[in-house]
Structure 1
């Protein structure tokens, strides 16, 4: 496609060689006039189209003495065609080409191409106006590619990772693109440094192309009872078609269309694997809900998450860090972008959502107390103690004063409105934190810990906690964190996790912990992975992406 648009561009360029060349100074004078005559303090307007990067436009043209960029002797240059192509290609970054004055730009291109076909010279005023529109589009697109279109602080109060700061001066970047003659490669330098971004972009491109061929019925299919091989259901033919659409099931002879057969089950298992589900071949509510996602729904999800990647700072690139993708219920330990450890996790349920932030892990607590948050004490512990006088002892808990002095629970009036105490659960196998916790101090009092409810790790939906992150194999995680300290053998770790008192171990160096929320990404093989929007955060980002830039 890139070569095609160049061929078309060159056709018009060479077809118009008979047109009378324009004096470049005419165009520069008009550009200067446009800039100097607009009301001060207001955004520049070009024929009722408001420029979105007025300061950059003024600085750029002033520094080059108002010389035009996108035409040569009155004819659109190859660079002009290249930029228009990249504006249209921005849809594969999840952005809207219309945000970059595309309609006005296309109008000028059409007019100039008609002039060229007729051997007619282009109007200097038209060339000047298009020049400014194209430069404005470059600067605006560059900003969106570098730091994102949407300010996360305005739409998601739970997103507390500081948005990436602008590091590039876009007029200088355009100078580089002009000097090198490379629009595409120059804009690519603004992409997030994470390899997952470019891979995700390619997935989005493929989804957009596939969506053009989509003719399936994407009505919502509801499964009231889990379907297993051998079951029949009226919606089986629809689900079979969807698996075939996504390339997870080949066409085959179906004797009983409503029968869930073993051939179809193989496709269901592949589908479950790509969506992070338990691979059991059973079509339950979660699997059926994911099968309801149309190509457009997946396009929207990909767009939202490419934008989230643009928000993230690149400070963890080629570093050692721990990444928890809340929507994927997974923890990954990275070093130089190699995955050292992957673990299933349980995260906060709806209304007890795990927040999105970055902090540094600095110590481990083996055989920890669980210092129960006051909200849980007030909402769960006190009501239980009122019903059962022995509740505190039965749960291996103790009541303490703010100074840490233990108080006999039988001496407390549990019906009183005042409760000037703290409740904590003592170390042991019944402790809700399990046998170890991993601390990265933060204002949310969120951390990673073991759990005594191990059966929950087998669930597809692992949003079950009060906000903290429960890890499936905490001893393996501890061994990874302490791998540079040979005295911490697995035997010693297990002993430390089975004590009746706390043991705090400081890490030799703090390790960044990044809690993110990504409902789509592409893996190292370029394969797409989609996850349920468990906290219903995608829609707000999508709406903001779809709004016209102002």
Structure 2
């Protein structure tokens, strides 16, 4: 009871205190801004609901066989686009706040930049998206327009889906080309819809698209090089060298040497010095030419001949186009390879064997003539044949051997070739009417030093009857251009490759391999572990270090691809 009296007394005294409490000033501006924010948010929420209704109408009103449309523009995505909006209750995704156009701007800038990936920005609704973006930057009230939000969102999402697909799978269907690309893809299906959510929620649209780039270590270097070269287009020029003087050696002097130095400097391969004699082909200029020769796959001797001058004068525009075409080819390559695999770039005349990302061996190759092209495909090396015989293929028999035998019957004996009938019985070549009946017989070259397949061949199942093999014509590997075969691939280091492929078979020591290759008696060795082999065609590529290489389009395949890249996607 005593405590209750004390409490009541304290309360009474406090009530009788005549002092006034200070008044808190009212911030009318803050109240006004808060009210505006609430009104703005309400209007934006209403616009988004209106946009969702319109998007739903677009998705649900499409007739069978028709395309989805936005602002009278056909949309490409017929599966992922509706699925994405159905999952999100048809709500727009790209503008989620009335004051933020950041993702729209980033997506617009990225669409503009795909030019440097060899793609055409206008194929991804660039013009209309750019127009809509310019409209809202001039009239911010459009953010409350449901029709505007719906159309912009549909166009951006459709651009994303088709662009992601083109970057990941490639824009061109390889089977539509005259020059077939037979390498089987093993790319996993990516959840493009999931990645779209991640891109919208992330800070950078560009970094999200990198998930779709080919895993080739030099792809991004090629994109950077395309941007660099684009800035050089207007300043490009050619160097004229008199035909009679088209063999420039280190130490030579001539007026046109000054132009050669200018072009090397333009390409970033040479730095001029006021003390230099501009008309002398001096050591610094020679080093610049050697760098150029290396980038184009030539022997780096520093001498300027026909091929080196052609490389020096390769137009910047042509370099850019070559990069674009080969970026597309990279998109067709498999994402994952066998633990041990062999890669043959036809246009580079090289073979490399790899374990993971480690290069185990490289060597020069000789590939098919331009009228007997080496095909593009992949398979698995399953066995080797030591000291092989060679059964002449029908095409070579018809076009090469029979004409020679018809002129000189001793041609076959000179090549250690024997003739067999359909039952496998040996036949005397002099008894055959070669012009009339030559194709009824099988011609086989016996093992030996002059055998066309050399001392070993590497076999992998394929419909082209193409394989890797040794060759007795070793001098041809010294040439810059090496299109001398009838489609098969001759290799510079057959023993080293055989040793590598048989490394997990201890019985096959280096000595035993060499002995079998030189025995003159054919022997088949089945590999314990089949090895992947990829025969492909790249005329330009980058390295992880950023170095860009170019090669001649020996089979004239780039033009067809460039034309296909510029065509609009099929509707």
Q: If the length of structure 1 is used for normalisation, what is the TM-score?
A: 0.90
- What is the CA distance between 1:406 and its match in structure 2? 1.9
Q: Give the corresponding residue for 1:158.
A: 180
- What is the CA distance between 1:201 and its match in structure 2? 2.9
CA contact (8 A) 1:75 1:122 kept: no
The alignment status of 1:310 with 2:331, answered yes or no, reads yes
Change (3 A) 1:503 1:121: closer
Q: Give the corresponding residue for 1:520.
A: 540
String of CA shifts for 1:189-236, please: whole Å, max 9, x gaps. 22223323233333333333x426x41323786856322234455643
Q: Give the corresponding residue for 1:6.
A: none
- SS of the aligned residue for 2:181 comes to coil
Pairing 1:335-374 to 2, within 5 Å after superposition: 335-374=355-394
String of CA shifts for 1:455-500, please: whole Å, max 9, x gaps. 1111110111111111111111111111222332322222111122
Of the candidates 103, 112, 125, which is equivalent to residue 101 of structure 1? 125
Distance 1:89 1:479 in 2: 47
Distance 1:291 1:369 in 2: 44
Of the candidates 29, 32, 50, which is equivalent to residue 74 of structure 2? 50
Distance 2:122 2:188 in 1: 23
- What is the CA distance between 1:266 and its match in structure 2? 1.6
Q: Give the corresponding residue for 1:333.
A: 353
String of CA shifts for 1:108-141, please: whole Å, max 9, x gaps. 110100113xx77553211211011101111011
Distance 2:38 2:554 in 1: 62
- What is the CA distance between 1:442 and its match in structure 2? 1.3
Q: Give the corresponding residue for 2:308.
A: 287
- SS of the aligned residue for 1:429 comes to coil
The alignment status of 1:184 with 2:209, answered yes or no, reads no
Mark the runs of 5 or more structure 2 residues left unpaired by the alignment.
Answer: 1-35
- What is the CA distance between 1:80 and its match in structure 2? 2.1
- What is the CA distance between 1:26 and its match in structure 2? 1.6
Q: Give the corresponding residue for 2:93.
A: 69
- SS of the aligned residue for 1:72 comes to coil
- SS of the aligned residue for 1:353 comes to coil
Of 178-187 and 347-356, more deviation after overlay is shown by 178-187
Distance 2:253 2:465 in 1: 49
Q: Give the corresponding residue for 1:502.
A: 522
CA contact (8 A) 2:80 2:193 kept: yes
Distance 2:186 2:524 in 1: 34
Equivalent residue pairs, number: 530
Distance 2:422 2:397 in 1: 14
Of the candidates 403, 410, 414, which is equivalent to residue 394 of structure 1? 414
Mark the runs of 5 or more structure 1 residues left unpaired by the alignment.
Answer: 1-15
Of 167-176 and 364-373, more deviation after overlay is shown by 167-176
CA contact (8 A) 2:226 2:323 kept: yes
String of CA shifts for 1:302-360, please: whole Å, max 9, x gaps. 111111010112231x7311000011100000111110010111111111110000011
Distance 1:196 1:546 in 2: 23
Change (3 A) 1:120 1:482: closer
Pairing 1:415-494 to 2, within 5 Å after superposition: 415-494=435-514
CA contact (8 A) 1:27 1:127 kept: yes
Distance 1:449 1:170 in 2: 43
Of the candidates 187, 194, 212, which is equivalent to residue 216 of structure 2? 194
Of the candidates 189, 198, 204, which is equivalent to residue 167 of structure 1? 189
Change (3 A) 1:355 1:223: farther
Q: Give the corresponding residue for 2:33.
A: none
Distance 1:121 1:497 in 2: 76
Q: Give the corresponding residue for 1:269.
A: 290
The alignment status of 1:147 with 2:169, answered yes or no, reads yes
Q: Give the corresponding residue for 1:545.
A: 565
The alignment status of 1:91 with 2:111, answered yes or no, reads no
Of 121-130 and 350-359, more deviation after overlay is shown by 121-130
Of 189-198 and 143-152, more deviation after overlay is shown by 189-198
CA contact (8 A) 1:91 1:97 kept: yes
CA contact (8 A) 1:196 1:521 kept: yes
CA contact (8 A) 1:19 1:121 kept: no
- What is the CA distance between 1:524 and its match in structure 2? 2.8
Change (3 A) 1:451 1:17: farther
String of CA shifts for 1:50-99, please: whole Å, max 9, x gaps. 11113322222122111011113444442222222222232232222221
User: Cα RMSD (Å) of the superposition?
Assistant: 2.4
- SS of the aligned residue for 2:436 comes to coil
- SS of the aligned residue for 2:527 comes to strand
